[in-house]
Amino acid sequence: MRFDFFYDFLISLGYEHPVHPILVHITIGLVVASFVFALIAIAPRYSKFAVTARHCATMAAVTVPLTFLAGIMDWQHFYGGAWTGIFQAKLTLGSLLIALLGLGVFLARRLTYRSPGIYAVYLAAFMTVVGLGYYGGELIHSGSAAGGAESEEGSGDGEQAAAGADGEVAYAQIDQIMQSRCVSCHSSGNPIWELDTSSYAGLMDGSKNGPVVEPGNPADSELVKRIKGITQPQMPMGGSPLSEQQVQRIERWIEQGAPGPEDAPSGSGAEQG
C-alpha cells in the first residue's frame, strides 16, 4: 500500500514533495509553544499563560495524528516502508507523542493548569519532539555524517569538475553523485535494502539481493537499471531522475571495471599499485 492515488492527485496539482515536512512544523510549533508558555506561567504574575499553554497542547493533540499519518504515507511512498533503525525510532517516538498529547488532554480535565502532572506531560512531549527532530535530521543527513571527511557536499561545483573528463571516470566522480542523490536512503546509518552507497566498499557489497554493480557490464548492473527506470521504482526514489550526463558517467565507470578510490585513472599523474 503506497497511497499512490493520493500522491498522483498531488502531482496532478503540481506538487511532488513529501507531505510530512509541511505538517510536522505545525505540531512541533505547538508542542514547543505549550512548553514555553508553561515555563513562563511558573512566574505568579504570568500565571495566565498556563491557559495559553493548554490551548497549544490541545491544538497539538489535534494536529499530531495528521502529522503521524502523513509520515506513514511518505515513508511508504518515498522510502518503500523500509524498516531501518531511523524509521523504527521515528515510529516509536511518533506513537509516544500521540500518547503523551492524548494524556495531556485527558489530564487537563482533572488537574489544575499549573499542576506538576501537566508540566511533566508538556516536558515529555517537548523532549519527544526534540528526539523526532534529531532522527529526522539523521534521515536527511546520515549519509554525509557517515561518509566521513572526504565526502563533499553535493554541489554544482563537483558536477562541473567532473563534466570535463570524457575518458576515464574516477570513483570520486561517482561518489559525488551518490553523496548528493543516494545516501539519504542508502548509507551505513540507514541502509535501505542493506545497500550503502556512502563508500566504495558499501557500493560494491551490494544490497540484500547481492551485487548492484557488475564491473565491466553496466547493462546487467541493477544500479544502472534502477537509475534508468528499467527496474521500477526508479532511483532516486521519489526524486527527479539523474541527469543524462550522470547516468552516462556511471555507465562508463562500470564499463571501465568500476575502479575504486585507490585505482586512480591513468593520465591523472597518480601511480598505480
Give min distance, CB of 264 to ligand HEC, in A. 23
235 binds ligand HEC (CB under 6 A): yes
209 binds ligand HEC (CB under 6 A): yes
227 binds ligand HEC (CB under 6 A): yes
- Which lies closer to ligand HEC via its Cβ, residue 209 or residue 245? 209
* Cα 259 to Cα 83, 150, 200, 216, 267, distances in angstroms: 31, 17, 9, 10, 15
Nearest residue to 130 via CA among 84, 83, 96:
96
Q: According to CB under 6 A, which one of 90, 207, 218, 249 is a site residue for ligand HEC?
A: 207
For residues 178, 269, 221, 251, the Cα torsion angle rounded to the nearest 10 degrees is 80
- Which lies closer to ligand HEC via its Cβ, residue 209 or residue 266? 209
Q: According to CB under 6 A, which one of 223, 249, 259, 265 is a site residue for ligand HEC?
A: 223
Sequence letter at residue 259: P
93 binds ligand HEC (CB under 6 A): no
The residue range among 97-105, 127-135, 225-233, 254-262 that interacts with ligand HEC, by the rule CB under 6 A, is: 225-233
Tally of residues, the chain? 273
* Contact call for residues 207 and 195 (beta carbons, < 8 A): yes
236 binds ligand HEC (CB under 6 A): yes
Please give the grid coordinates belonging to residue 202: 558499501
Q: According to CB under 6 A, which one of 54, 77, 90, 226 is a site residue for ligand HEC?
A: 226
The residue range among 105-113, 165-173, 178-186, 255-263 that interacts with ligand HEC, by the rule CB under 6 A, is: 178-186
d(CA 73, CA 89): 16
- Going 133 to 136 to 141 to 146, the CA torsion angle's sign is positive
Q: CA-based Rg of the chain, rounded to a whole angstrom?
A: 24
80 binds ligand HEC (CB under 6 A): yes
Residues that bind ligand HEC (CB under 6 A): 78-80, 82, 181-182, 184-186, 192-193, 195, 197, 207, 209, 212, 222-223, 226-227, 233, 235-239, 242
